[in-house]
Amino acid sequence: MAHGSGGRMMDRLIEEVFLPEFGGVAAHERHDGARLDGSLAFTTDSYVVRPLFFPGGSIGDLAVNGTVNDLAMCGARPRWLSAGFILEEGLPLETLRRVVGDMARAARAARVEIVTGDTKVVERGAADGMFITTAGVGMIEYGARVGPALIGPGDAVLLSGELGAHGVAVMSVREGLAFETEIVSDTAPLWAPVEAMLRAGVEIHCLRDLTRGGLASALNEIARTRGVEIEIEETQVRVPAAVRGACEFLGLDPMYVANEGRFCALVAAADAERALGILRQFDGQATLAGVVGAEGRGEVVVRGALGGRRVLDQLSGELLPRIC
């Protein structure tokens, strides 16, 4: 299971199993999506969330926004999506209708069209309710070129808003963990803030949405791919009070908790303040959270509130609540 949690074990799976066989564009870009012919971006993702509905969204919202955001993180305007459904025999039709309704709404909000699809029904027990795979095509605009290879020492690290709401919202309704909370998922399409920065001519070097494994995994992936140190100010990583409370209570570190509507942008130092101003038009909680340091071991370092520095390691294994 831990191979799918977005941490070190998944990296190993990609490096040892997929890349040697598939290679191609994926091998040198290592991004959420592939850039084809300079003007097209293409990506795919599968959604297996449990439960299917959670405060603030459903698997349908994630299936659209997740893929839309993978395209946005390539600097591409999301345009067309495909949707593949694997349904467990006996899934109530009403459940499917609700999910499909959520997908349609999310697609309208993100201004994408779902243009093709496929459905398979498998016998009871062979799937958990329903799985959705979406693929997306987007158009790279404003001459955007983004990817870890472009970042360099001195680049600013911006966060688009407060972290942790999605992961905690899902956990709050999971079997065996249920607790009452006002927290709702942050699931949202992210092209609009990205486009605003591109349109304003901000020199964006890299974009990454902070999904599975949270901020820690996203930054580690970038730092390691490029072989630079990234330093983050703990006080500039904002977490809503209710999420902090739940994380304290469950023994989780918000740096590792999943988001579905948050991203980090690594931009040229000279454009940092301007980029922050633009991001704040979309979310007042956006921050300038860190800086890219020297080339080196590819580590992420957190400067704590007390002044100490610690390594922000990748998630190892699944995120599990502690005992006491």
Partner 1 sequence: MKHVDEYRDPAVAHALAAELRAAARGRWSIMEVCGGQTHTILKSGLTALLPEGVELIHGPGCPVCVTPVGLIDAAVELALRPGVTVASFGDMMRVPGTRRSLLEARAEGADARVVYSPLDALKLAQADAGREVVFFAVGFETTAPANAMAAWQAARLGLRNFSLLVAHVLAPPAVRAILEGGRSGVQAFLAPGHVCTVAGYEAWEELAREFRTPVVVTGFEPADLLEGTLMAVRQLEAGRAVVENQYARAVRRSGNAAALRVVAEVFEVCDREWRGLGVIAGSGLRLRAEYAGLDAERRFGLRADAREEAGECRAGDVLQGRLKPLACPAFGGRCTPEHPLGAPMVSSEGACAAYYRYGQ
Query: Minimum Å distance from CB 60 to partner 1?
Result: 26
Contact region with partner 1 (CB under 8 A), list: 51-59, 129-137, 177-185, 191-199: 177-185
- The C-alpha atoms of residue 46 and residue 63 are separated, in whole angstroms, by 7
Which lies closer to partner 1 via its Cβ, residue 20 or residue 307?
Answer: 307
Which residue type sits at 234? E
End-to-end CA distance of the chain: 24
# residues contacting partner 1 (CB under 8 A): 33
In the chain, what is the greatest distance between 2 CA atoms, to the nearest angstrom?
Answer: 57
Task: Pick the binder of partner 1 from 233, 251, 282, 295 (CB under 8 A).
Answer: 251
Measured N-to-C along each axis, helices 272-282 and 191-199 cross at an angle, to the nearest 10 degrees, of 140
Task: Pick the binder of partner 1 from 109, 250, 268, 269 (CB under 8 A).
Answer: 250
Element (H, E) at 264: strand 263-267
* One character per residue 268-307, x = contact with partner 1 (rule: CB under 8 A): -------------------------------x----xxxx
CA dihedral (85, 171, 57, 193) positive or negative: negative
Task: Pick the binder of partner 1 from 8, 166, 224, 238 (CB under 8 A).
Answer: 8
2 contributes a contact to partner 1 by CB under 8 A? yes
Which lies closer to partner 1 via its Cβ, residue 108 or residue 309?
Answer: 309
- Residue 170 tokens read as 């899902």
- The C-alpha atoms of residue 50 and residue 128 are separated, in whole angstroms, by 8
Which lies closer to partner 1 via its Cβ, residue 93 or residue 241?
Answer: 241
- 300 close to 311: Cβ distance less than 8 angstroms: yes
Which lies closer to partner 1 via its Cβ, residue 163 or residue 267?
Answer: 163
Specify the length of the chain in residues. 324
| Range 46-75, binding partner 1 (CB under 8 A) | none
Query: Minimum Å distance from CB 26 to partner 1?
Result: 24
Element (H, E) at 76: strand 76-88
| Range 182-241, binding partner 1 (CB under 8 A) | 241
Which lies closer to partner 1 via its Cβ, residue 230 or residue 275?
Answer: 230
- The C-alpha atoms of residue 23 and residue 9 are separated, in whole angstroms, by 19
15 contributes a contact to partner 1 by CB under 8 A? no
SS3 224: helix
Backbone angles phi, psi at 209, to 5 degrees: -80, 150
* One character per residue 116-155, x = contact with partner 1 (rule: CB under 8 A): ----------------------------------------
- Residue 246 tokens read as 């739940």
For partner 1, the binding residues (CB under 8 A) are 1-2, 8-9, 175-179, 241, 244-245, 248, 250-251, 299, 304-311, 313, 316-318, 320-324
